[in-house]
Structures are given as structure tokens and as C-alpha cells.
């Protein structure tokens, strides 16, 4: 396996990598509360955001869309790495979805609730070809209890949001199949990958064999103590899931078979995206060590709907 090359360091819990038009990388730094550009080994702040910017994606209008989890608490582990700990920071009042114009810096909050329910901790998002986006709300975990999460669909103009699946246990990564007919969700605490087959944008079919309350189709379970984070999809349809504890990217086929686990060297590997002329370069956030890595990938990543 190729060794990941570190292209940025001293980041404060990086997540949500996306490629900009000039080939530079944008990441969120959750603890620093910024969107940060990585270019030619240097970093610069694009925007400072309140709360906890988490997921990041380009929208159909050329703006950046952000899942803001409302804020995490952080602690140093015995190995010196950074960790998220139970609880919420002072002033936490829920999470939200926001839009950022990267040219002007204009920021607009689009969604803070779905119906009568407040968003708790939006985590990751992916746009479809119709101009809407799916996003996960991770929920929140506290020292003695946990708030459930869910999967949602919303329009980029802020006019509509619907609940697709609820409840999920710490839903994190979200991605779409190449044909756009299936949305994948990775649960952190269970180490499970669910598939939701779509009847139409924002509406999932209930799987006839599902015992899950949300009706999703179980695609893969990691086994042992492995925790799933964010994900990206290959052009082949394979799902590549950042995997915490086992320090790797877990690659799962659309049929639910384990393809491989690619080591990353960081126990808190949180996200992956694909870039380069052939989309065969993987960019991976290594959040315990505060690093962004790149490595050659065996197969091309899926071209996203926008960006």
C-alpha cells in the first residue's frame, strides 16, 4: 500500500475536504471553527464560522454549503492526539445548514429545523443532480445519554426540508450511488453502512426485509470495535468510508462485500474525497494528528454533481 503524504499539518480537527477550481483543497477545521484552504503546502483562512463547521460541499450556484454541528468539546488523548468528548460547548443551541459565498464572504443560515424538530448536529452532505442535497444529523452524545440522529433532504434555496429516515444511531457519512438512485449512510457508533433506495428525490422506499425502524437496508457491518465516519463513492460504485480506531479507509462494494481496508496511520481518520485529473488521488483528513494527507487511489472517484 502507498504511504499517505502529509500536505498540511497543525490543523484543528480537519474534516469535510473538497476540491476548489484551482486545484487547492478546502477543509473545515471544526475546533478552530474555520474553512481553511490548503495550497502548495500552505494554509489560509477562507472564513470563520460560529458553532462547529463539519460537512462541506459545493452547490449548484457555486457557493459552499456547510453542515454546522453547533459545536463539539475536545480533549487531548494520552497519545497526544485530539479527540471529541461527550457534551456540548457553552452557548450551544442546536445545529444548522448554512450557505457561504466564497467570493464575497456572505453567510446565510438556511435551515435550523425540520418541521417542529430542531436540527441537533448536522454532519455531512451530498448534492444530487436535481439541485437538492442529502445530509445527516448526527445527534449529540452526552456523558449519560444520547440524542438520536437522522437523514434529511433539502433544497439549496432554503425553501424545503424533509426527513428521509429517523432514527439513526450517530449517522455520519452520506453519499449517493453513481446512478443517484441510492443514498448511503454510515453510522459511527455501530460501524454499520445503510442503503436507502429512493422512490424520488428526498423520499426513500422502505426495504421489505428491514427490521430497522427507519426502514433502511443494511449493506455492511464492520465487526469488532470499528467506528465509521464520513465517506466518498468511487466511479465503480464502491463506498469508501473513513474508519476510526482501525485507522483506515474501508472500501465496500455496492453488493455489501468488503473490497479492502487502506491504512492511513491515524486512529481518527474522518473523511475522504477524490481529485486530480483522473480523480485517482485521495485526500484524507487525519483528525487526531491534525493533518491532511494525499495518496494515489487504485480506482477513480465518482464525479460529484457540482464542484
Question: Given a cut of 80, is residue 1 above it in pLDDT?
Answer: no
| DSSP tag of 234 | B
Instruction: Report whether pLDDT(132) > 90.
Output: yes
- Residue 208's pLDDT is 87
Q: Is the pLDDT of residue 183 over 80?
A: yes
Residue 56: other Cβ atoms inside 10 A: 23
Q: What percent of the chain clears pLDDT 90, i.e. is strictly above it?
A: 96
Q: How do strand 107-111 and strand 96-100 relate by DSSP bridges? A: antiparallel
The set of residues, in sequence order, having a beta carbon less than 8 Å from that of 139 and lying 6+ positions away, is 120, 121, 146, 147, 148, 149, 150, 170, 171
pTM (predicted TM-score): 0.97
Domains of the chain: 5-296 (2.120.10.30)
What are residue 197's phi and psi, to 5 degrees? -80, 135
- What is the rounded average pLDDT for all residues in the chain? 97
Confidence (pLDDT) at 2: 81
Q: State how far the Cα of 164 lies from the Cα of 179, in Å rounded to an integer.
A: 19
Decide: helix, strand or coil at residue 288.
coil
Q: What is the dihedral of CA 91, 97, 102, 105, to 10 degrees?
A: -40
Q: Model confidence at 57, in pLDDT bands (50, 70, 90)?
A: very high
Q: Confidence class of residue 159 from pLDDT cuts 50, 70 and 90? A: very high
Q: 206-257, pLDDT tens digit by residue? A: 998 889 999 999 999 999 999 999 999 999 999 999 999 999 999 999 999 9
pLDDT at 111: 98
Residue pointed to by grid coordinates 465487526: 223
Average pLDDT over every residue of 254-266: 98
Read off the pLDDT of each residue in 103-120 and give the average, rounded to a whole number.
97
The confidence score (pLDDT) of residue 158 equals: 97
Sign (positive/negative) of CA torsion 187, 136, 300, 27? negative
Amino acid at each position: 500500500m502507498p504511504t499517505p503524504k502529509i500536505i498540511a499539518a497543525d490543523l484543528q480537527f480537519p474534516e469535510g475536504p473538497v476540491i476548489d477550481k484551482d486545484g487547492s483543497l478546502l477543509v473545515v477545521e471544526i475546533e478552530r471553527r474555520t474553512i481553511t484552504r490548503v495550497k502548495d503546502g500552505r494554509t489560509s483562512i477562507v472564513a470563520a464560522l460560529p458553532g462547529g463547521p463539519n460537512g462541506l460541499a459545493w452547490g449548484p450556484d457555486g457557493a459552499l454549503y456547510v453542515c454546522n454541528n453547533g459545536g463539539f468539546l475536545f480533549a487531548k488523548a494520552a497519545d497526544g492526539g485530539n479527540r471529541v468528548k461527550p457534551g456540548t460547548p457553552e452557548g450551544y443551541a442546536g445545529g444548522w445548514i448554512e450557505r457561504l459565498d466564497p467570493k464575497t464572504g456572505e453567510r446565510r443560515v438556511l435551515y435550523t429545523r425540520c418541521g417542529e424538530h430542531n436540527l441537533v448536529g448536522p454532519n455531512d452532505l451530498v448534492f444530487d443532480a436535481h439541485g437538492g442535497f442529502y445530509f445527516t444529523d448526527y445527534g449529540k452524545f452526552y456523558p449519560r445519554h444520547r440524542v438520536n440522529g437522522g437523514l434529511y433532504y433539502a433544497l439549496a434555496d432554503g425553501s424545503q426540508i424533509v426527513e428521509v429516515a429517523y432514527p439513526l444511531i450517530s449517522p455520519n457519512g452520506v453519499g449517493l450511488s453513481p446512478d443517484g438512485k441510492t443514498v448511503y449512510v454510515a453510522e459511527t457508533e455501530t460501524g454499520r453502512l445503510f442503503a436507502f433506495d429512493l422512490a424520488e428525490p428526498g423520499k426513500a422506499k422502505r426495504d421489505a426485509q428491514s427490521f430497522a425502524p427507519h426502514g433502511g437496508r443494511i449493506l455492511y457491518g464492520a465487526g469488532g470495535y470499528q467506528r465509521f465516519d464520513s465517506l466518498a463513492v468511487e466511479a465503480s460504485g464502491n463506498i469508501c468510508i473513513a474508519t476510526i480506531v482501525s485507522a483506515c479507509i474501508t472500501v465496500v462494494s455496492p453488493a455489501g462485500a468488503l473490497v479492502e481496508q487502506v491504512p492511513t496511520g491515524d486512529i481518527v481518520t474522518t473523511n475522504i474525497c477524490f481529485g486530480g485529473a483522473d480523480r485517482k488521488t485521495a485526500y484524507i483528513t487525519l483528525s487526531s494528528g491534525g493533518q491532511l494527507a494525499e495518496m494515489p487511489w487504485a480506482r477513480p472517484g465518482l464525479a460529484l454533481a457540482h464542484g
